[in-house]
Amino acid sequence: MNSWSLRGLIFSALFAGVMIALSSMKVSLPFSTVPITLQTLAVMLAGSVLGARYGTLAVLIVIGLCAAGFPVMAGRGGISVLVGPTAGYIFAWPFAAFLIGWSAERMSQGKFTFGKLLGVNFLFGSLLVYPTGVAWLAHSIPSLDTLSKALTAGMLPFLPGDFLKAALCASVVTAVWRVYPIERIVGRRSPEWVGENAHE
């Protein structure tokens, strides 16, 4: 396993700052305690640009700052946030960043890069997060006593926005990789995506 690099650690800290900044852009919904924020976009970007280790570290930095009381989660912080109704989403983010990064490290750049990034980010950055997020939300709010209520409050309204975030992330990362490949962050050459040639 490659050792941790100073460059990767710096980028992790920078992306933690990006995640905190994007969390301040939120829209509250009248029917849910879960706001619409751009933090999930930051998770997608962290994994896609930094890879598995450094992307996960960026997310863990934000969670650690939240635990220490800093207002890094949409202007809120403290242990109460990490055990509150949205905790199920928060603790799924490191796994999302890791799986996005793991997949990104194994992609070759080519004509299908955008589609692969879109699929990976929507699958791991959105769909993977909802099982624990919705389950904990329903556990925390007694009025969400049916599956349909829980899904309406914690998942279904957010899917179109998540797809747009995944598409935006894929577009940005496709452009970034042309000038700053992910190998420069993770410190090694990435294996080719199965079924594609390196020159595609």
Task: For residues 176-194, give the mean pLDDT.
Answer: 70
Highest mean pLDDT range out of 73-82, 128-137, 139-148?
Answer: 128-137
Q: CA 83 to CA 67: how far, in whole Å?
A: 10
The pLDDT assigned to 109 comes to 78
CA 104, 107, 113, 117 torsion: positive or negative? negative
Decide if pLDDT at 79 tops 70: yes
Q: Phi first, then psi: give them for residue 26, nearest 5 degrees.
A: -135, 155
First to last CA, the chain: 28
pTM summary value: 0.88
Res. 136: pLDDT tops 90: yes
